Every structure is written in structure tokens, then in C-alpha cells.
Homo-oligomer: A and B are copies of this chain.
Amino acid sequence: MHIAIIGSGNMGSAFARRVSAAGHDVTIASKNVEHAKEAARAIGAPVQAMPLNQVADAAEIIIAATPYDQQVEALRSAGALAGGTIIDISNPLKRDMSGLAIGLTTSAAEEIAKAFSGAKIVKAFNTIFAQVLNEGADFGAGRRAAVFYAGDDERAKQSVRTLLESMGFEATDAGPLHNARYLEPMGMLNIWFGYMAKRGTAIAPTWISRA
């Protein structure tokens, strides 16, 4: 396939290298074509650099690899996109990386915390189906289901962690209660995989680390 990459930062350069290594024709483009040329040179021969406004014509897929706040402008500069396939890789981060700038307003856990201001609310288990709970944390082949827990009171979190570990789960500290905003959409995706995509309820999300 012919793949065009918009953006020559660390994501754009990594895409250019890996997509080319996978055997595709790769074009890399940047607002400043010199940056794209530099990135292409650093990667090697098979990657072609191009000004942004020539990108749309040739590519079967465009990978938009600029930060979210530059995404629309960069794509506008890329020419005729109608009918084209664009991969959006962005996370719409706030500038200080403290959260997402769009899309999120609250979470169930934060609403419950507002309703019971004296209590210590800990979000946990919302990515665990009843089947997983019933059948246990061991998924075989050395894999264990993770339970993500988030809260604002460290002592409460510690006792929840003790509970999770006593039940055999991989207890994963997911930060302050605010982060329930990330856990609940992941719980919804888990439900989507289980029911709508019909993968069943013996599944669970986890994080892997390179060995």
C-alpha cells in the first residue's frame, strides 16, 4: 500500500520507519518540508519526503501524526481528502498533560464522591465481568486479570489494594479518583467487546510491559 504520514515528530518518524519496514511505500510530509526531508534521511532510502499539499493525491491511507491541536490545520493543508482514509492517532491532551482537553466531563465515581463527601470513594473492578470474578483472576499461561483502582485517599486505596491482592488480582494503581474518567470508558469498551462484539465475558483489559 502507499501510506502517507503527516508529521515528522517522534510518532511520525517511528511510523515512517516501521511502515516502510513492513513493505509499504511511505511518504512523510510536514508543514516545513525540510523537517520531513531530515526525518526521511534519518530513516533511509525507501521513505520519500513531500510538501504537505501534495500528500493526499498519492496515498491510500494517510496517518495523521501531529498533536491533536494541529490535526485539523495539517489535514486542511494536505489537499483533497474526500474519499480518502485517514488514521487519527491523537489523544486530545491538555498542554500540561493533566488530562484530556475535550470529551470528558465527569465520572460515576466522582458523582458518588460528591454525594458522600465524608466517605473515601475508590473506583475499582469496573472492568471485571461477573464471570471473571466468579472464575478467578488466573487466565492461564502466567496471565492474571488486572483490577485498576483509583482514589484520593491513600490509606483507603491501600486497604483496597490488600483486598484485591488477597483475591488474586493484579492490583494496578490507576491514580486519583479523577482517573475514573479513563477507567469507566475502558469499562464500557470491555462491555462492548463482551456483548456487542460477542467476544464473551471471560475477557479483561490489562497492560503489558516489554520483557
Contact = CB atoms under 8 A, between A and B. Distances in A.
Given A89-B125, A108-B102, A184-B100, A14 B134 contact: yes
B186 A71 contact: no
Interface in A74-103: 75-76, 81-93, 97, 99-100, 102-103
Interface string A113-147: 00110111111111010101111100111110100
Contact of A186 (B76, B102, B182): B182
A124 B203 CA distance: 21
A161 to B, nearest CB: 11
B166 A22 contact: yes
A54 interface: no
Nearest to A177: B88
A81 B102 CA distance: 33
Query: Main secondary structure on chain A at its contact with chain B?
Result: mixed
B108 A106 contact: no
Interface residues of A, number: 115
Contact of A179 (B60, B71, B102, B192): B192
A210 to B, nearest CB: 4
Interface stretch (A32-40, A44-52, A167-175): A167-175
B124 A87 contact: yes
Given A88-B109, A97-B196, 14 more contacts: A1-B163, A17-B134, A72-B115, A75-B112, A82-B119, A85-B120, A86-B121, A88-B108, A88-B124, A91-B108, A91-B187, A102-B106, A200-B209, A202-B210
